[in-house]
Amino acid sequence: MTRTGLEVFDSTVHETYAWLRDIGEILGDNDRHHAYLALRGTLHALRDQLPIDESAQLSAQLPMLVRGIYFEGWDPGPAPPRGESREQFLDRVNREVERTRWATFNPENEARAVLRVLADRVSAGQVQEVKHNLPEPVRELWPEVAGTR
C-alpha cells in the first residue's frame, strides 16, 4: 500500500528524505528543515551559475521532488555574470535561509554538505561537467572525490 496512491510520488518522497537525511548527517543534525533550506539554497545558487543546457542535464539526475526544488522560481533569462566569487555564491545560498532567520546557518558548511550529497548521488561525469562550468572559487567547495554512482 502506498501513502499517496501513486508509487512514483512515494518513491520521490522517500528518495528526497534520504537526501535530506544525508545532508543532515553531514551537518551534524537531523533537522530536515535545516537540510531542506541548505539543499534549496545551494541548488538555486548552483542552478543560477550553470548554462541552461548544463542545468537541464544536472536536473535529469535529481529525484523528481528535488528537481522541483531546483527549478522553483527559476528565471532562465538573465544569468548572473560568470566568474562569481566564492563569497557571492555563498551569499546566494545564505539568502534562502535569511528569510527564515535560521540561527545556526553557515552557508559554506551547508553548501559543502549539499555538494557532497550531489557528488555521491549524481554520476561522476555529470559532476565533472557541472564543476567545469563553475568559477574556480566555487569549484573549490566541491569534495575531492566525486560521483560514486
Domains and CATH numbers, the chain: 12-73+81-139 (1.10.490.110)
Looking at residue 104, its pLDDT comes to 64
List the chain pLDDT tens, one digit each, 149 residues.
Answer: 567 777 888 899 999 999 999 999 999 988 898 899 999 999 999 998 899 999 999 999 999 999 999 999 888 876 666 667 888 888 888 877 666 655 567 899 999 999 999 999 999 999 999 999 999 999 999 998 644 44
Looking at residue 89, its pLDDT comes to 86
Distances (CA, A) of 101 to 34, 39, 78, 94: 11, 16, 28, 10
Question: What pTM does this model have?
Answer: 0.86
| 16 CB-near residues (< 8 Å, 6+ apart) | 63, 65, 66
